[in-house]
Every structure is written in C-alpha cells, then in structure tokens.
Structure 1
Amino acid sequence: MEITTKRIYDDPDNDGARVLVDRLWPRGVSKEEAQLDAWIKEVAPSDELRTWYDHDPDRWTEFKERYVSELKEKDDAVGRVLDVAKDDQLTLLYAATDRERNNAVVLREYLESQID
C-alpha cells in the first residue's frame, strides 16, 4: 500500500482512498469539494497536544514523540484508517500550511511501520 499526505486544499488527483485526519473540519472546503472516503478525526492529535504544538517548528520533535504515544492508544482509529484503503493507495489529508511538519506526516510514518 502506498501512503501519501496532501493538503485538503490541493486538487484531488489519483489519490486513491482520501481520508481527512484532522480533528477540525478545514475552513472554506465543502464536503463535496473534499471528495473524502472518510473523516477519521479520532486518529488526530488530542486537543491538548494540538494546542501545545501550535505548529511551532521548535516543538516538532517532541510533538512527534507525543503524537506517536497517543497513536499507540488508538488502535481502533488507526485500524479504521487502514481499512478505508484496503490494499490501494491511501492519501492522508490535512489542513496545516506546513507540508513537512504536520500530524499527517507523523501518522503516515506510524502507519508504514505498522504494515511493514
């Protein structure tokens, strides 16, 4: 299975299964525009972690560690993300402007470690 990440504001294009992995619905995007297969907000970072991180690059390393710890406690939600894709391509969608440091990047790495 190929797992990619993409901003929800980018046009859908050969994305396979599209799963929004943010806790909050992204501003300015309609459900029709999003073309989602699923919105699994339970797999997103906790409100406490998300607020603490606040997309501060200096907190990235600790955010990753804390988020992975949370993911280990969310087996059902993580499994639901993988079930949406089956053996197909999976695109994890997020709203953050930073394409390299966001929850979808961490989740992709975590999922890849679970399926290898």
Structure 2
Amino acid sequence: MDIQLKRVYEMPEESDGFRILTDRLWPRGMSKEKAALGIWAKDVAPSPELRKWFGHDPAKYEEFRKRYRKELEENPAAENFISLVKKELEKGRVTLLYGARDAEHNQAVVLKDFLNEILL
C-alpha cells in the first residue's frame, strides 16, 4: 500500500497517482487545473470548529490528532472515502494533499495514519 503526503502547492507528478485534497477550504491561489485532483475530500476534512481551534499550532497537535480521529470514526462519509482509497490503491499510489506549510502537523498526516490502520 502506497499513500504519500504532499503539499498541494508542489507540482503534480505522474508518480503521485490518484491525488486527493484533504482540506475543507480550497487552497489560496490554486487553480483547479494546477491542483490536478482526483477528488476533493472536504467531507472527511476536520470540522470548521476543530480547524479553527487547532490553528496549525504544533503545541495543540496531539489533541487535534485525537479530536480529528474521533471525527473520522463518527463521520458517515468516511466509509465511502475509505472504499475509494482502497480501490485507488489497487491501481497504484494515492497522494493526500494539504495546503498547510507545516508538513508534520496537519490533517493529512492524521488521515494517512487512520487509513493505514484500517487498510493494513
């Protein structure tokens, strides 16, 4: 299974495979063409309340991680999302895209761990 993470502002590459935007809000200054998405998974992104509370503060990351996992576990849209990712992984790589500058403290990292646990 090959899920990778990438900032949406980086150039798309063929090796990205199926590209999924994991942000609830569209990234500033990014056109749909440049993003080259397979899907925009805003229905499994963190809730607006959680996103605002977190504010990309690394000090809040562990609590954000717990709260977002809980949201994912309770989100009815997650089941379809997991099925889609599983189907795309059978074809090749899946790339989870995020807009945040911090590559270690964002929702895509949590989502990747969540998917790895379920799909492995």
Instruction: For structure 2, list consecutive stretches of 5 or more residues without a partner in the other structure.
Output: none
Q: Which structure has greater helix proportion?
A: 2
Determine which of 89, 107, 116 is the counterpart of 1:112.
116
Residues 14-93 of structure 1 aligned to structure 2 (within 5 Å) = 14-74=15-75, 75-79=78-82, 81-83=84-86, 85-87=88-90, 88-93=92-97
Pair 81,66 (structure 1): closer, same or farther in 2 beyond 3 Å = farther
Q: Which amino acid aligns with 2:57?
A: D
Pair 19,84 (structure 1): closer, same or farther in 2 beyond 3 Å = farther
Q: Which amino acid aligns with 1:98?
A: D
Check whether the contact 2:46–2:68 (CA below 8 A) recurs between aligned residues: yes
Identity %: 47
| TM-score, length-scaled by structure 2 | 0.91
Of stretches 17-26 and 76-85 in structure 1, the one that deviates more from structure 2 is: 76-85
Distance 2:81 2:8 in 1: 19
Q: Which amino acid aligns with 2:2?
A: E
Distance 1:107 1:28 in 2: 24
Check whether the contact 1:20–1:94 (CA below 8 A) recurs between aligned residues: yes
Number of residues of Structure 1 aligned to a counterpart in Structure 2: 116
Structure 1 runs, 4 residues or longer, greater than 4 Å off: none
Q: Which amino acid aligns with 1:106?
A: V
Distance 1:66 1:43 in 2: 13
Find the residue that maps to 1:22 and give its secondary structure. coil
Find the residue that maps to 1:72 and give its secondary structure. helix
